[in-house]
Chain A
Amino acid sequence: MDLSSFEIDNSVSCRLASQIPDVCRTEDCCLGIDEAGRGPVLGPMVYGICFCPVSKKQELKDSKVADSKTLTEAERENLFQKLDEARSYVGWALQILSPNTISTSMLQRTKYNLNALSHDTAIGLVQFALDSGVQLREVFVDTVGPAEKYEEKLSKRFPGIEVTVRPKADSLFPIVSAASICAKVARDRVVKGWNFAEDLGEVDTDYGSGYPNDPKTKAWLLKYLDPVFGYPQFVRFSWSTAQTLMDSKGVIVHWDDDEEDGEKAAQRQNNKSMLSYFSASAGGNDQNPTHQTHRFFSERRLKSLDTL
């Protein structure tokens, strides 16, 4: 697995793929989808697909790729090796969603939630397989959100392909297990060798599992909190763990789509808050309340100053 194309710029989403086996272009194929790194506050989320001819399902099963969650990292690496050796009939593709992609998607003005991001990534990978000429007949997916809805969405998107969405699909269907191994191996490797774009000097890489409840992860998050910038791009800013820490320890940053209450909001909506009636002098800043600035200035947000 060559991760260099992601490591060149780990702020974006990146696709990696194996060679497409020739048999996959001629024979009916099945495809599995799974993801790794959905929960951690650190590192990317990796989506993986694995595909092989329907006729080769048994061979895949025999290689014991099943139940990836119970495997150790070494065993996963081992199994990935096996998949690589079976490259004459097994193909895979990965979409690495950088933590920065996840942060910016979830925190943009029109919120793009993790489920939608996951669904779209999965769809993108299936489309990639189709575009590469893989003869897809069956697709197996480990569910994200309600299985029924997701199945309906995928079936509509890919008519003519039999879509099966199941919880725990990675332990039910070997092709999904294979996909999950690819995804997990890629995530492990990326996290381990993360290239920090930021100039942090010697970075302490002892960040534990990356999951919010891991004490090591929490300690790391506290250590690398910059009061102005928050975190390196390695951290998912949209995670409440990160947000809570930034809110309490960092400088407060206001965005114009923030919810706000009280005096400031009232001022903007051109009505007075109750509090203003009790303050020393209401509107003490305006020396001349009757004077209305010409719209040339007000439209351009220009005003005179009385002090610097």
Chain B
Amino acid sequence: MATKKKRTPNVHNDSWVVIAAEPVVDTQKHESDPAFVRLRNPSTDAASLYMLSSDDVQLFEVKAFEEDFHSWFVGQAVQRDGRLLFVTPMDPLYLILPYLIKSGREGKFQPVDQVVMDEEFPACSRLLSCTRSLASLHHVAEEKEVGKLKFHRYSPEKTMNWLKKKVERTVLALKARNISVGEGVKSSTYIRVKSESDYHEEDYLRYAHGLISEYISEDLSKALFKHLQLPELTSPKETEPPSKKRKLSDKPVEAGEDYTKFNSADYARKPPKKMTAAQKSLAKVDKTGMKTMSSFFSPKGKAEKK
């Protein structure tokens, strides 16, 4: 049992388990198949995987559910990774925005097809074919029309208002879905005595801002934070009310217990007790009917009473 198992490196899989929105699967209407494309992730500035439906009509983001110790049985085969891919609709504007911001620094109105260009990710120009792209550019840019040509210039104010609306819509979705936005992790199967309505509007806003920040650059995220007039969190303690009423006295108040250690990131990750592998395997042994070591050293009368 104690033999060390070696993990072999993941072998390349040529099949995936995917949950996709209807329009992705519905290929009958169109001629070409939907395709995975690598595009610049606006939040990390690195490559991420997206999907464009046939004829580039709609953009989807690809998220993978990945947890250790999962595998699939697919038909008569075993698939090593237990990964589940989600292909969900996404607003292409999020991916176009970084290019607008970049060219916006020059302060000139430009045709958008000259703006959305990327040597590293040539597929980015296909974003402009999405039905929503051109029609929604006015949310984040000023428009000028000269003849039949349209020119755009990035507008920070418009963008902030657009993002604020996104946050507000996200808040509505969070409420409708009963997503726990408070501090600390709660199990969704845990039966709550208090209802979720105890959450403040601010908790929702903060959570939604965090979610939207997954789709924008860090600078934009900071700007949006200010725009939403969210108070800066100085200490994580302040998000929760003090558990006990403090007595009023002239004496300087001292903390009874130090809770701050629970807030540090590495506290949560650490197992409560560090045990060596040997101790762990010992802990698993069924000890019924066995005497404890200490019982051999205690006075006899006591041991027998047990």
Chain A residues proximal to chain B, CB less than 8 Å: 110-113, 115-116, 145-146, 149-150, 153, 228, 240, 243, 247, 251-252, 254-256, 258-261, 264, 268-270, 287-288, 291, 293-297, 299-308
B63 proximity list for chain A (CB < 8 A): 297, 302-305
Q: What are 10 A-B contacts with C-beta separation under 8 Å?
A: A113-B286, A243-B1, A251-B78, A252-B6, A252-B8, A254-B68, A258-B5, A269-B271, A291-B44, A305-B48
Let me know if B280 and A259 touch, CB within 8 A. yes
B132 at the interface (CB under 8 A from A): no
A103 to chain B, nearest CB (A): 14
A149-B289, A256-B69 are contacts. A269–B48 as well, Cβ < 8 Å? no
B269 at the interface (CB under 8 A from A): yes
A291 proximity list for chain B (CB < 8 A): 43-44, 218
Alpha-carbon distance between A295 and B48 when the two chains are bound, in angstroms: 19
- Total inter-chain residue pairs, C-beta < 8 Å: 109
A308 proximity list for chain B (CB < 8 A): 16, 36, 49
Let me know if B277 and A294 touch, CB within 8 A. no
Partner pick for A303 among B16, B64, B281, CB 8 A cutoff: B64
A145 proximity list for chain B (CB < 8 A): 289
Alpha-carbon distance between A109 and B150 when the two chains are bound, in angstroms: 65
B211 proximity list for chain A (CB < 8 A): 294, 296
Let me know if A296 and B286 touch, CB within 8 A. no
Let me know if B6 and A111 touch, CB within 8 A. no
B18 to chain A, nearest CB (A): 10
A111-B285, A153-B289, A302-B86 are contacts. A294–B48 as well, Cβ < 8 Å? no
A268 proximity list for chain B (CB < 8 A): 68
B185 at the interface (CB under 8 A from A): yes
**B68's closest neighbor in chain A, by CB?**
A256
Alpha-carbon distance between A270 and B281 when the two chains are bound, in angstroms: 22
A247 proximity list for chain B (CB < 8 A): 3, 5
A254-B69, A303-B64 are contacts. A287–B46 as well, Cβ < 8 Å? yes
B202 to chain A, nearest CB (A): 16
B66 at the interface (CB under 8 A from A): yes
B207 at the interface (CB under 8 A from A): yes
Partner pick for B48 among A111, A270, A306, CB 8 A cutoff: A306
Let me know if A255 and B286 touch, CB within 8 A. no
Alpha-carbon distance between A288 and B36 when the two chains are bound, in angstroms: 22
A304-B49, A306-B38 are contacts. A297–B67 as well, Cβ < 8 Å? no
Let me know if B5 and A302 touch, CB within 8 A. no
B113 at the interface (CB under 8 A from A): no
Let me know if B286 and A112 touch, CB within 8 A. yes
Let me know if A288 and B45 touch, CB within 8 A. yes
A109 to chain B, nearest CB (A): 9
Let me know if A269 and B269 touch, CB within 8 A. yes
As a 0/1 sequence over residues 52 to 79 of chain B, the CB contacts with chain A under 8 angstroms (1 = contact) are: 0000000001111111110000000010
B214 at the interface (CB under 8 A from A): yes
**B1's closest neighbor in chain A, by CB?**
A243
Partner pick for B270 among A269, A302, A305, CB 8 A cutoff: A269
B16 proximity list for chain A (CB < 8 A): 308
Let me know if B207 and A146 touch, CB within 8 A. no
Beyond the given A115-B289, A295-B210, please list 11 additional residue pairs across the A-B interface where CB-CB is below 8 A: A116-B288, A228-B78, A247-B5, A259-B280, A287-B44, A293-B214, A294-B211, A297-B214, A301-B65, A304-B41, A305-B49
B28 to chain A, nearest CB (A): 24
Alpha-carbon distance between A189 and B2 when the two chains are bound, in angstroms: 36
Alpha-carbon distance between A293 and B63 when the two chains are bound, in angstroms: 12
B5 proximity list for chain A (CB < 8 A): 247, 252, 254, 258, 260
Alpha-carbon distance between A240 and B45 when the two chains are bound, in angstroms: 51
B4 at the interface (CB under 8 A from A): yes
- Residue among A153, A228, A294, A300 with the most chain B CB within 10 A? A294
Alpha-carbon distance between A294 and B7 when the two chains are bound, in angstroms: 29
B281 proximity list for chain A (CB < 8 A): 259
Let me know if A288 and B44 touch, CB within 8 A. yes
Let me know if B44 and A294 touch, CB within 8 A. no
Let me know if A261 and B43 touch, CB within 8 A. no
A288 proximity list for chain B (CB < 8 A): 44-46
Alpha-carbon distance between A254 and B70 when the two chains are bound, in angstroms: 9
B247 at the interface (CB under 8 A from A): no
